[in-house]
A and B are shown apart, each in its own frame.
Chain A
Amino acid sequence: MLSSDQILQMLRTAFAELFEIDPARVTPTTRLSEDLEIDSIDAVDLIDRVRRVIGKKVSPEDFRSVRTVGDLVQAIERLAKG
C-alpha cells in the first residue's frame, strides 16, 4: 500500500526525470499548471508514468479536478486503493 509520502516522493522523482523540475519545488500546495507549467501534453506523459507505477489502468477523467500536487497525491491514493 502506498502512503501519501511515498506517492509524493514518487512524484518528485517523476517531475525531476520527466521535466527536470527541482524536487524542492514539488510540495503539496504547488500548483501544476501555474507553478510548474505542466500543460495538457505533459499531463499525458505524467498520467502514463502514474499508470506504470501503480500498475492500474487510469484515465484522464480521474485527474479532472486536480489542480495542485496535493490533489494529485490524493487522486493517486484513491486509484491505488480502488
Chain B
Amino acid sequence: MLKSISYCWRLPATALCFAMFGLLGLVSGVLVFPLVRLVPGRKATRRRRVRALFRFGMRFFVEFMRAVGVLTYEFRDTRRLGRPGQMILANHPSLIDVVFLIAFTPQPLCIVKAAMWRNPFTRWPVMAAGFVSNDSTFDMVEQTAAALAEGQSVIIFPEGTRTTPGQALQFHRGAANIAVKAALIVTPVFIRCDPTTLAKNMPWYRIPPRRVRFTFRVGTDIDLAEFRKAPPPLASRALNEHLLQVFADELRSGGRPAQEPADRLLRA
C-alpha cells in the first residue's frame, strides 16, 4: 500500500521535475544568461558569471528533485572538485549525473553531446556557459586541452554516453588523451544510482519501484607522471586502461575504496 502511494506520487513528481528542468533551461537560456552576458567585463569574467549561475540553477534543481521526493543523494568531498586544471572523470549511469556534477563543481566546463546544441531547452545554456561538444574529436581535444591549460576545471564522461546496464564499462580514449596532454590533476568521481533510473534507452515514465538513491564518491587523484614518460598515444592508451580498472574495481566493490581490504589484510 505504502509502496503504491510512493509510486503514484513519484510518477507525476518525475514529470514535474522534467517540466522544471525545461523551464529552468528556457528561462536561463533565453532570459537570464543573455542579460548576464550584457553586463560588461572581460570574456573570462562574463563566462565565470554564467557558470556560477548555471551551477546555482543545477543546485536548485537537485534540491527540487530531492524535495519532491523522487531521489535522495549523498555527495561527499565536493571541496576537492573545481581545482584549476582539474579533469573530473565520472561514470555515467543516468541522465542526470551531469546535473549533480555541475551543481557541486565551482566553474565547471562540461564536455556534452552535440545533441544538447539542438535541444531547445539546453542549447542556449550550453552555448552561454561555453561548454564543449563531443561532435568533432579534433576540436574537442583541442578546445578542452586549451581550457585545462588556462586553468579551467573540466567534467568529462569517458564512456562518451550513458552506461549500458549489464555491459562491461568502456571508455573512449579521448578523455585519457586530453588528460595526458593538458590536465594538472585527474580526479575520478564514482557515481552509483540505485535502483537504475533514466539509464540509456529508458523512457522517463519508467520510474523505479522505489525512490532512487544517488551516491557520489570523489576518488583519489590519479598521478600522471608515470604515464607521461611515454609518447602521447601510448600514454593515453595506458592511462585509459588504468582508468577503466580504477572505475571497474570501485563500482564492483560496492562503493568502498578498492584498496581498503588489502590494507586491512596488511595490518592484520
From A20, A40, A59, give the contact of B137 (CB < 8 A).
A40
A25 to chain B, nearest CB (A): 16
Q: Considering only CB atoms and an 8 Å cut-off, how many residues of chain A contact the other chain?
A: 14
A60-B136, A60-B138 known; A44 and B234 CB under 8 Å? no
* Residue from A17, A18, A44 having most chain B Cβ neighbours under 10 A: A44
Given the complex of chains A and B, what is the CA–CA distance between A20 and B177 in angstroms? 17
Q: Nearest A residue to B240 by beta-carbon distance?
A: A41
Given the complex of chains A and B, what is the CA–CA distance between A8 and B141 in angstroms? 26
Q: Are A41 and B141 neighbours in the complex by a CB distance under 8 Å? A: yes
B230 to chain A, nearest CB (A): 9
B109 to chain A, nearest CB (A): 19
The answer to the question of A43 belonging to the interface, with a C-beta cut-off of 8 Å to chain B, is yes
Given the complex of chains A and B, what is the CA–CA distance between A17 and B236 in angstroms? 14
The answer to the question of A47 belonging to the interface, with a C-beta cut-off of 8 Å to chain B, is yes
Proximity bits, B138-160, A CB within 8 Å = 1, else 0:
11011000000000000000000
Contacts of B139 in A (CB 8 A): 60
Proximity bits, B166-188, A CB within 8 Å = 1, else 0:
00000011100100000000000
Proximity bits, B44-78, A CB within 8 Å = 1, else 0:
00000000000000000000000000000000000
From A18, A41, A43, give the contact of B231 (CB < 8 A).
A18
Q: Are B136 and A45 neighbours in the complex by a CB distance under 8 Å? A: no
The answer to the question of B261 belonging to the interface, with a C-beta cut-off of 8 Å to chain A, is no
Q: Are A42 and B233 neighbours in the complex by a CB distance under 8 Å? A: yes
Q: Are B232 and A18 neighbours in the complex by a CB distance under 8 Å? A: yes
Contacts of B172 in A (CB 8 A): 41
Given the complex of chains A and B, what is the CA–CA distance between A60 and B135 in angstroms? 13
Given the complex of chains A and B, what is the CA–CA distance between A56 and B234 in angstroms? 25
Q: Are B138 and A44 neighbours in the complex by a CB distance under 8 Å? A: yes
Contacts of B137 in A (CB 8 A): 40-41, 43-44, 60
Q: Are A45 and B173 neighbours in the complex by a CB distance under 8 Å? A: no
A46 to chain B, nearest CB (A): 8
Q: A40-B138, A44-B138, A44-B141 are in contact. List 9 more A-B contacts (CB 8 A).
A: A17-B231, A18-B231, A18-B233, A19-B233, A19-B234, A41-B173, A44-B137, A44-B142, A60-B138
